[in-house]
Amino acid sequence: MYLGVNIDHIATLRQARYAFSLESPNAEPDLVAAASACERAGAHGITVHLRADRRHIQDKDVERLRASINTKLNLEMGNTPAILDIALHILPEEVCLVPENRAEVTTEGGLDAAGQVKALTPTVSRLQKAGIRVSLFIEPEADQLAAARDLGAEMVELHTGAFANAQGKARDREVGRLRVAAEHAHHLGIQVNAGHGINYQNIALIRKIPHLTELNIGHAIVSRAIFTGLERATAEMLAAMAAE
């Protein structure tokens, strides 16, 4: 499995102090430095979510990352015209379409691709015509996978939040849902990624799910980095992903 490190919450820390003074020479931490540390540790890509409310990642961050990273840039975005225009200008290697709710702390739940096929079709088409691979951040459900197939998305990212929050038999059921969805997506010829709430403990169950190509992990890595540094935290996650 590959690892994409989501560095949104590096920006969250910066915004807590410098939201209105990003041009200050003291504005830190620096996202380019963070991405570089992740790449040095072996990360296969950098993920950022440019939200409509710009609560953490800013337009300039995406531009700087596009110009500096050596792996690939995965841009998470809602299906909004303004953000789509930015994506088509920046040209990340990949875009992951996600739901957005201003009241949420972070993205909660998957995109209702099945209920938004008409609205998503032109967005997916424009991104792909620009050479950008498209992923849909969806719940591990058959109707959502069918919509991803109908939309022609190259990838899905299975939302693992319910799994991450479950315990005991409920968690076993969520693992089963993810396993079935991964098998189904693979059968449909869609690349299977996963993300949300994956950490150094529950990765032991995630890595047993078949056909997973890439995990996008942010909060757990950034949290551990407070104590170990970002490069080591990334390396430790890679080691946990590869463990037998």
DSSP readout, 154-198? Answer: SEEEEE-HHHHH--HHHHHHHHHHHHHHHHHHHHTT-EEEEESS-
Return the sign of the alpha-carbon dihedral for residues 199, 157, 129, 2.
Answer: positive
Distance CA 157, CA 76 (A): 11
| Beta strand ranges found along 78-145 (DSSP E) | 94-97, 133-138
| 196 assigned to active site | yes
Considering the candidates 44, 174, 196, 231, report the single residue annotated as catalytic.
196
SS3 185: helix
Check if the beta carbon of residue 73 is closer than 8 Å to that of residue 46: yes
Locate tokens 């379409």: which residue?
97
| 76 assigned to active site | yes
Alpha helices in 4-115 (DSSP H): 8-18, 31-41, 59-68, 81-90
Check if the beta carbon of residue 34 is closer than 8 Å to that of residue 57: no
Pair of tokens at residue 88: 């088509």
| 231 assigned to active site | no
Considering the candidates 49, 56, 159, 184, report the single residue annotated as catalytic.
49
Provide the residue type at 135 as one letter.
S
Considering the candidates 39, 76, 94, 174, report the single residue annotated as catalytic.
76
Residues paired with 4 in a beta bridge: 45, 216
Residues paired with 45 in a beta bridge: 4
SS3 24: coil
Which sequence positions are flagged as catalytic?
Answer: 49, 76, 196
